[in-house]
Amino acid sequence: MGATEWVVVAATPGDLVAARTQMGFSLGWHIVIACFGVGMPGLAVFAEWRGLRTGDPAWEGLARTWARSMGVLFAVGAVSGTILSFEMGLLWPGLMGTFGDVIGLPFALEGFAFFIEAIFLGIWLYAWDRLPPRIHVLTGVPVLVAGVASAFFVVTANAWMNQPRGFDLVDGRVTGVRPWGAMFNPATPPQTVHMIVAAFMVTGFGMASVYAVGLLRGRRDRHHRLGFLVPFTVAAVLAPVQVVVGDWAAHFIADNQALKLAAIEGLSETTAGAPLSLGGIYTGGELRYALEIPNALSLLAHWDPDAVVLGLDQAAPDLRPPVNVVHLSFQLMVGIGFALVALGAWQAGSWWRRRDLPGSPWFLRAAVLAGPAAALALEAGWVVTEVGRQPWVVYGVLLTRDAVNPHPGLVAGLLMVLAVYAVLTVATVTVLRRLARRGPVAPQERAGEPVSQLPVSQRPASRRPGEAER
C-alpha cells in the first residue's frame, strides 16, 4: 500500500463491561474513604473543643489520635478522587463531551471545596502547637464545612444523572444550558441528604468499631470509652433519621423513577394494591420465594393501599435494569439499616437505665460488626442508585453503551486500576494499623512544647521523692 491506512476497531461489549466495572469499583472504593472525610472532622473538632472546655487530657488525646488518621485518609482519598476524575473523561467521553457544560458547575465547586479543605486541614494538623487553642479549634471548622460541601456538590451531579434538567435537546444537540437548574434538580434534596447522613453513619460506626475491639480486649480506660461512645452515639442517633430520609428518597423514586422501584421490588407487572416483598429471587420473569405483605408497597409508595404501582412491563426488556442486583442490594441496605437502629436502641436503653454501656459482650461484638456493616449498606445503596438507573447513564436521555469510550483496550485499563487500588489498600491498612499500635497521643507529645508549659490538668503525674523509675 502506498499510503498508510488506519484501521479503527470499535470497542467490544467486553470493553463496556470493563468500563462499568472499573468505574463501579473506583467509586465503591473511594466513597468509603470520602465518608470519613465528611464525618471525621466534626468528631475530631468536637473532641478538641471538649478538651479545651473541660481540661480533660483524654479529649485532646482523642482529637490528636483522630487527626493522625484523618491526614492519612485525606491523602488516600485525594489519590482515589483524582483517579475518578480522570475516569469520567477517559471512560465516558459520550457523557462528558455532550453534557460537560451542563454538569461542569458542581465539579468546579467541588474543586474549590477540596482546596479549602486541604488548606485548612494542613493548618489544623501542623499548627496545633503554634496557634492559641481557641483559634486552633476554629481552624478545624472549615475542614468540616468543606468536607460536607464536597459531598453535596458531587452528589448533585449524580442526582442530575437520575433527573436530568437544565438544558434543551434540539436535534440531538445540547442547547440552552442552565447550570444552576441542572445542579438543583428534583433529585438533589433527597439524594444529597441521604448521602451526607450515610457518611456520618459510616464514620461513626466505623470509628466506634475500632474502639469496640479494644474494649472487648479489656481496655476499659477513659480513652477507649470516649473513643467508642462519641462516634457510636452520633451514628446511633442518625440511624433512625436515615430511615426517615430513606423513606423520602423511596417516595421520590416511586414518583420519578418508577422502573427503578419496580426493579427494587421485583414487580414484574403493573399492579393495583401491590404487595411489599421481603427477600426472594427474581427468576423466570417473576419474584419467587419472597415474603409478601399485601398492599404494603402501594401504601408506602403512594400513601394509598389500593394505588397502582408500575411494574417492569412498562419498559422493553432491553431497557430494564438487572432486577436481582437491584432488589438484593436494596434488601441488604434496608436490613442493615434497621439492625443498626436496633443496636443504637440497645445502647440507648442501657444508658438510660444505668448510664453505662450494655454489660453483655454481645453488644460490643455487634458494635465491631457495625462498622463494616454500615459501609456495606452504603455500597448497597449506591448499587441501587446506579444499577437501578441502567441501561441509562443519563436517565431517559443517554444510554450507557452510547457514552462509553468507543476505542478498544479498556480491559487493560481495568487491570491496571485494580493493581493501583490493591497497592492503595495495602498501604492504607498498613499505615492505619501502625498508627493504632502507637496508641493514643498524649498531650505532652506536643512537638517542641515542654511539659512545663502544658496546662496543669494535662501534665503527667509527678513522682514522689525517691519513687523508682518504671
Residue-wise pLDDT tens digits, 205-216: 999 999 999 999
Question: Average pLDDT of 159-184?
Answer: 92
Domain residue ranges of the chain, discontinuous segments joined by +: 10-191+399-442
Q: Would the pLDDT of 345 be above 50?
A: yes
Question: Average pLDDT of 68-85?
Answer: 90
Q: How confident is the model at residue 441 (pLDDT cuts 50, 70, 90)?
A: low
Q: Would the pLDDT of 348 be above 80?
A: yes
CA dihedral defined by 270, 275, 278, 282, rounded to 10 degrees? -30
The rounded percent of the chain whose pLDDT value lies above 70 is 91
Query: Would you state the pLDDT for residue 459?
Result: 39
The three-state secondary structure class of 291 is strand
Instruction: Provide the grid cell at 40.
Output: 471525621
Q: Are 157 and 107 in contact (CB under 8 A)?
A: yes
Question: Average pLDDT of 358-363?
Answer: 89
pTM: 0.89
Instruction: Provide the grid cell at 244.
Output: 426517615
Q: How confident is the model at residue 218 (pLDDT cuts 50, 70, 90)?
A: confident
Instruction: Provide the grid cell at 330.
Output: 436494596
The three-state secondary structure class of 458 is helix
Query: Would you state the pLDDT for residue 442?
Result: 60
Query: Would you state the pLDDT for residue 4?
Result: 35
Question: Average pLDDT of 108-137?
Answer: 92
Q: Which has the minimum average pLDDT: 128-142, 185-199, 227-241, 425-439?
A: 425-439
Q: Are 35 and 198 in contact (CB under 8 A)?
A: yes
Query: Would you state the pLDDT for residue 463?
Result: 35
Question: Average pLDDT of 449-463?
Answer: 39
Question: Average pLDDT of 294-304?
Answer: 92
Distance from C-alpha of 364 to C-alpha of 209, rounded to nearest angstrom: 8
Q: Would the pLDDT of 432 be above 90?
A: no
Work out the mean pLDDT of the chain and round it to a whole number.
87
Q: How confident is the model at residue 183 (pLDDT cuts 50, 70, 90)?
A: very high
Phi/psi for 102 (5° steps) reads -80, -45
Higher pLDDT, 438 or 413: 413
Q: Which has the minimum average pLDDT: 4-8, 127-131, 453-457?
A: 4-8
Q: Would the pLDDT of 464 be above 80?
A: no
Buried b (16+ CB within 10 A) or exposed e, 384-407: bbbbbbbebbbbeebbbeebbbee
Distance from C-alpha of 363 to C-alpha of 460, rounded to nearest angstrom: 34
Q: How confident is the model at residue 447 (pLDDT cuts 50, 70, 90)?
A: very low
Q: How confident is the model at residue 27 (pLDDT cuts 50, 70, 90)?
A: very high
Q: How confident is the model at residue 408 (pLDDT cuts 50, 70, 90)?
A: confident
Q: Would the pLDDT of 6 be above 50?
A: no
Q: Are 77 and 33 in contact (CB under 8 A)?
A: yes
Q: Which has the minimum average pLDDT: 298-312, 314-328, 398-412, 414-428?
A: 398-412
Residue-wise pLDDT tens digits, 185-206: 999 999 999 999 999 999 999 9
Q: Would the pLDDT of 451 be above 80?
A: no
Query: Would you state the pLDDT for residue 355?
Result: 87
Question: Average pLDDT of 309-327?
Answer: 93
